[in-house]
Structure 1
Amino acid sequence: MRIELPRRKGEIVKAFVVTLLAVLIMFIILFPVYYIFTVSIKPVSTLATTELTLIPRNITAEAYKEVLFGFEGSKISANFTGSIEGLGRLDGDTLYVTDGKITGVVKAGPFTALRFEIPFKEVRFKVDQSGSKEGQFTGEISGAFRLTRINKDGSIGFAVVKNVELKKGELDGITMSGVMEKYIVARNIGSIEVTAVGKFVNSIFFAHLKNSLFIAGLTVILTLIFVIPAAYAFSRLKFFGRDHILYFYLMFTQVAGGLGIAGLIALYGMIVKLGLYDKLPVLSLIYAAGSVPFNTWLLKGYIDSISPDFDEAALVDGASYLQIIRYVLLPMALPGIATVAIFAFIGGWTEFILANLLLTEANQPLSVWIYLLMGGIGRGIDWNYFAAAALLFALPVFIMFMLAQNYVRSGLTVGGLKE
């Protein structure tokens, strides 16, 4: 026992030093992320300084609230339901409503997104009744509401109410329905209340988030559609020039990627010439095409580790190659496929050069929006807002990786079955 004690003590000291070194390295790697987080929870009025504050004194979520629920009131176009009231006059089959107001509600799913009230001098409806009546008029309506500006005092800067349908109206005991002949334009009048749900749905962040999710999701789908059959073919099938094609497959992509600006100019010219500019699916297709060679290599290596006896048994049972891929390969190669899917998602989520080149502002993803936030360097940047936006941008990738880390680990280590 006396002989073993120094040895055990040395192992403990060695393990302690290694652990301490690992913690130090992790701290250095993660410190920028922690610093960005501290900036994001400081008061919005706080400016960036050279002073490093590890623990902020005043903590607030105002920056995250501004990113998620910040709303400029631009380009809301949605259907609404509501009511109309005013002085009514029925003349033939035309209903005149004067000195009244329209109250409407816009829904976001089951939730209320906004409420508005617009006064008007006169509107006309073509109704299913005829005659001559006057009196107080009330009715239930639905239509389209387009808002382009909200004033700071809560009034409507500019909005249009159109395609209004009178579902049910009452004038001096007469019930009627019909459609509005023209539309109502509201300028600096009325009032509007945007709920938290409405601010989130119509926030700049959420608008770009939808674009990012669409691009990254479609990139994953297209990548898997191309990569899975290709990886299976290169792993299982024997055909002339297979090895040469596989190496050329990857080499050509790397050489083409090195062309840089020249490749971007050629790609931009082709996209514009084909009339595919500002199309989100086109961008996903480009991302998928660029990720196919590497991901094919990656998935092929995993499929190589799966015994071909399963394929042969399925062929003996009369399965086609597509059935083998679906019922045999997919379940057994799930770790490798999950790894490919995550890499494809990250590629589509974080790329901004092509997105900035091939998309207009309305269709740009979060990556471009966050990059453009840095355009204020030298003219003052809201660092709190930028830090909160950057962390929210990175959150989906972090969550996806944490949920699928076991698949990624086994997929990268090629831990398949052995013969």
Structure 2
Amino acid sequence: MNIRLPKRRGEVIKAFAVTLVAILIMFIILFPVYYIFTVSIKPVSTLATTELTLIPKNITAEAYKEVLFGFEGSKISANFTGKIEGNGKLDGNILYVTNGRIIGTVKAGPFTALRFEIPFKEVKFRVGQSGSKEGPFNGEISGAFRLTRINKDGSIGFAVVKNVKLENGRINGITVSGTMEKYIVARNTGAVEITAVGKFVNSVFFGHLKNSLFIAGFTVILTLFFVIPAAYAFSRLKFFGREHVLYFYLMFTQVAGGLGIAGLIALYGMIVKLGLYDKLPVLSLIYAAGSVPFNTWLLKGYIDSISPDFDEAALVDGASYLQIIRYVLLPMALPGIATVAIFAFIGGWTEFILANLLLTEANQPLSVWIYLLMGGIGRGIDWNYFAAAALLFALPVFIMFMLAQNYVRSGLTVGGLKE
């Protein structure tokens, strides 16, 4: 026992040292993420400071609330219903309404998204009947409301009310209906209130999130559609050049990627000539095409580890190659397929160069939106806002990887084994 103790003590010390090194490395890797998180929950923060606070004193979620439901930078253009009040004067078939206000409501499905109130000096309606009346006026209206700016005090910065139809307007016992001849422009006046539903529907973040989910999700579908049969063919079928075609294609795509700007110019020219500019499915197709060689090689390595005896048994039972892929290969190669899906999703989710080049602002994904936020560096960028947006952008990839980590681990390791 006395002879073995030093060896035992040495193993404990070695394990302890290795653990400390692992903790240190993990701390270095995760510290930037933690620092960004602390910035996102501070009331006021700036990167240009010598102060390093590991635990913020005042914690707030205002930055996340502003990212998720902030109105700044977005526009609302929707139909509304409401009422109009003021002093009315019916002269022939023209109704004049003066010194009044319009109170309107914008719906998002069955829920109220926005309420607004706009004062006005005079509006004119062309009504269906003629007469001569004057007195207090009120009525029900509907029309189109476009809001582009809100002031900090809750008043309307800029808005337009147009295509207004008067329904059940009443003036001294007479009911009139008609159409407003001109539109109303509201500048720094009135009041507007956006409900929680309205902030969700019109959020800049959720608009770009929808684009990102479509691009990344469609990229995964296209990638799996091409990669699964290709990987099976390279792994199981015998044809001329099988041993070299995939590796040549893989190396060619990597070398071609070095062309950089020249390749982007050529791609942009082709997309515009074909009339495919600003099309989200086209971007997914480009991403999938770029990821097919590597993912085919990756999935082929995993399929190689599956015994061909299963394929032969299915063939003896009369199965076709498509049935083998569907009923034999897919269940057994699920870890490898999950790994390919994760890589394809991350590629479609994080890429921003092509997305910035081939999409307009309305269709841009989160990656481009966050990148454009950096344009404010040196000009008063809101670091709380940027930090919260960056963490929310990374959250879906983190959740997906955590849920599929067992598949990814086995897909990357088993694929390198041979019988």
TM-score, with length taken from structure 2: 0.86
Contact 2:226 2:292 in 1 (8 A): yes
- 2:365 is matched with 365
Deviation at 1:132, TM superposition (A): 5.4
Does 1:242 find its partner at 2:262? no
- 3-state SS, counterpart of residue 230 of structure 1: helix
Deviation at 1:317, TM superposition (A): 4.2
- 1:43 is matched with 43
Percent of pairs with identical residues: 87
Contact 2:301 2:416 in 1 (8 A): no
Contact 2:336 2:415 in 1 (8 A): no
Stretches of structure 2 lacking an aligned partner (at least 5 in a row) = none
Superposed counterparts of 1:15-414, under 5 Å: 15-46=15-46, 48-72=48-72, 74-86=74-86, 96=95, 98-99=97-98, 100-120=100-120, 121-124=122-125, 139-164=139-164, 183-414=183-414
Q: Which whole-Å CA distance do the structure 2 matches of 1:313 and 1:174 have between them?
A: 87
Q: What do the CA deviations read for 1:11-51 (whole angstroms, capped 9, x no partner)?
A: 33332222222111111111111122222222325452133
Stretches of structure 1 lacking an aligned partner (at least 5 in a row) = none
Q: Which whole-Å CA distance do the structure 1 matches of 2:88 and 2:326 have between them?
A: 67
Q: CA, structure 1 residues 250+181, in 2 after alignment: closer, same or farther (shift >3 Å)?
A: same
Q: CA, structure 1 residues 28+188, in 2 after alignment: closer, same or farther (shift >3 Å)?
A: closer
Deviation at 1:366, TM superposition (A): 2.1
Deviation at 1:250, TM superposition (A): 0.5
Q: What do the CA deviations read for 1:287-313 (whole angstroms, capped 9, x no partner)?
A: 111111111111111222223333334
Q: CA, structure 1 residues 312+104, in 2 after alignment: closer, same or farther (shift >3 Å)?
A: farther
Contact 1:212 1:366 in 2 (8 A): yes
Q: Which whole-Å CA distance do the structure 2 matches of 1:378 and 1:398 have between them?
A: 30
Q: Which whole-Å CA distance do the structure 1 matches of 2:320 and 2:136 have between them?
A: 74
Give the letter for the 1:122 counterpart: V
How many residues align? The count is 416
Greater Cα shift, 362-371 or 83-92: 83-92
Q: CA, structure 1 residues 47+409, in 2 after alignment: closer, same or farther (shift >3 Å)?
A: closer
Give the letter for the 2:29 counterpart: I
Deviation at 1:223, TM superposition (A): 1.4
Q: Which whole-Å CA distance do the structure 1 matches of 2:182 and 2:313 have between them?
A: 71
Deviation at 1:345, TM superposition (A): 1.2
Deviation at 1:123, TM superposition (A): 4.5
Deviation at 1:285, TM superposition (A): 1.5
Q: Which whole-Å CA distance do the structure 2 matches of 1:308 and 1:65 have between them?
A: 54
Deviation at 1:405, TM superposition (A): 0.9
Q: Which whole-Å CA distance do the structure 2 matches of 1:313 and 1:123 have between them?
A: 82
Q: Which whole-Å CA distance do the structure 2 matches of 1:227 and 1:136 have between them?
A: 72
Contact 1:166 1:179 in 2 (8 A): yes
- 3-state SS, counterpart of residue 288 of structure 2: helix
Q: Which whole-Å CA distance do the structure 1 matches of 2:116 and 2:327 have between them?
A: 55
Contact 1:116 1:191 in 2 (8 A): yes
Contact 1:47 1:382 in 2 (8 A): no
Q: Which whole-Å CA distance do the structure 2 matches of 1:252 and 1:416 have between them?
A: 23
Q: What do the CA deviations read for 1:46-97 (whole angstroms, capped 9, x no partner)?
A: 45213332223333333323323332264211233334445667899x6847
Greater Cα shift, 365-374 or 397-406: 365-374
Greater Cα shift, 223-232 or 398-407: 223-232
- 3-state SS, counterpart of residue 248 of structure 2: helix
Q: Which whole-Å CA distance do the structure 2 matches of 1:255 and 1:46 have between them?
A: 41
Q: CA, structure 1 residues 8+109, in 2 after alignment: closer, same or farther (shift >3 Å)?
A: farther
Cα RMSD over matched residues? Answer: 3.3
Contact 1:86 1:97 in 2 (8 A): no
Contact 1:306 1:416 in 2 (8 A): no
Deviation at 1:334, TM superposition (A): 1.9
Greater Cα shift, 294-303 or 43-52: 43-52
Q: Which whole-Å CA distance do the structure 2 matches of 1:126 and 1:320 have between them?
A: 73
Greater Cα shift, 253-262 or 71-80: 71-80
Contact 2:45 2:383 in 1 (8 A): no
Q: Which whole-Å CA distance do the structure 2 matches of 1:239 and 1:300 have between them?
A: 15
Deviation at 1:237, TM superposition (A): 2.2
Contact 1:303 1:333 in 2 (8 A): yes
Contact 2:97 2:137 in 1 (8 A): no
Deviation at 1:249, TM superposition (A): 1.7
Give the letter for the 2:383 counterpart: W
Contact 1:133 1:171 in 2 (8 A): no
Q: What do the CA deviations read for 1:168-213 (whole angstroms, capped 9, x no partner)?
A: 6667778887766664443443221123443343333333323222
- 3-state SS, counterpart of residue 80 of structure 1: strand
Q: Which whole-Å CA distance do the structure 2 matches of 1:224 and 1:321 have between them?
A: 17
Contact 2:335 2:410 in 1 (8 A): yes
Contact 1:89 1:132 in 2 (8 A): no
TM-score, with length taken from structure 1: 0.86
Q: Which whole-Å CA distance do the structure 2 matches of 1:173 and 1:258 have between them?
A: 78
Deviation at 1:372, TM superposition (A): 2.6
Contact 2:304 2:415 in 1 (8 A): no
Q: Which whole-Å CA distance do the structure 2 matches of 1:45 and 1:157 have between them?
A: 28
Q: Which whole-Å CA distance do the structure 2 matches of 1:357 and 1:201 have between them?
A: 26
